[in-house]
A and B are shown apart, each in its own frame.
Chain A
């Protein structure tokens, strides 16, 4: 009878890579979104100040 090999380490590595990669991507989406919102706030305030400075 054939013995089933112990490949548990590979399985753990596979699931770990999956969750870590998905986690990194979700964090990157969050960080990019947060940075863009900050950029929008800064640019909008710059745009509002612009007409005053040109007077």
Chain B
């Protein structure tokens, strides 16, 4: 039975500490935003989860390419891990955005281009797991999964860019907004909380992916043993 590496144990502890610090910075260190009030504090986690969510979908597309070239199952495991962890984080992004939208826009949800593309992206990756569930042959499942993540990966840059290309009520955080859009301005302390949240969620993301890759290894072993026993 595989034992947990020391590096992973350290990463677990570091992740917990970083999440605690990030929560402190978001709740107590960053000043209250005067227009929206306390709800603006969820913004730090909203952006942190969105960053790792979209990053994971892009990583899954890249691992899909590597799998199709090498046919090595470890890349399939890595792709599944990236999609699963990112789907959880991107779900949080959507929920946090909705909670923020209620007092800010007076609605939980609106079919704004950013919200629509985010919802479509999340559904694409929920469907990815349904697709995998329906295929028994591991190699065929990995091949279909790789092609799917490759195509689905296009949705990540579209979701990121859509507020810069279309008229939308969603504020632009990174990069310049056009004349019709709201550009969020941050104080120095807000920027510290913001960048720390990005860093903390990146480390937590790596930690969870590592755990999920190990879980994938166990799944493969069970599948192989089932085949041997049934022969």
Q: Which of A1-55 contact B (CB under 8 A)?
A: 2, 4-8, 10-11, 13-15, 17-18, 21-22, 25-26, 29, 32-33, 36-37, 39-40, 43-44, 46-47, 50
Let me know if B96 and A17 touch, CB within 8 A: yes
A1 to B39, CA, bound (A): 20
What's the nearest-Cβ distance from chain A to residue B11, in Å? Answer: 13
Task: Mark the stretch among B29-37, B137-145, B153-161 that contacts chain A.
Answer: B29-37
Who on chain B is nearest to A6 by CB? Answer: B37
| CB atoms of B37 and A4 under 8 A apart | yes
Interface mask (B203-216 → A, CB under 8 Å = 1, otherwise 0): 00000100110110
B218 touches A8 (CB 8 A): no
Partner among A2, A14, A37, A44 whose Cβ is within 8 Å of the Cβ of B39: A14
Q: Would you call the interface of chain A mostly helix, strand, loop, or mixed?
A: helix
B contacts with A, residue count (CB < 8 A): 38
Residues of chain A contacted by B219 (CB below 8 angstroms): 36
Q: Is B100 an interface residue (CB 8 A)?
A: yes
Cβ 8 A contact of A14, one of B35, B37, B99:
B99
Residue of B nearest to A12 (CB): B38
Contact of B218 among A10, A11, A14, A40 (CB under 8 A): A40
Q: Are B45 and A18 in contact (CB-based, < 8 A)?
A: yes
Interface residues of B (CB under 8 A from A): 1, 23, 27, 32, 34-42, 45-46, 49, 88, 91-92, 95-96, 99-100, 102-103, 208, 211-212, 214-215, 218-219, 221-222, 225-226, 228-229
User: Chain A interface (Cβ within 8 Å of chain B)?
Assistant: 2, 4-8, 10-11, 13-15, 17-18, 21-22, 25-26, 29, 32-33, 36-37, 39-40, 43-44, 46-47, 50
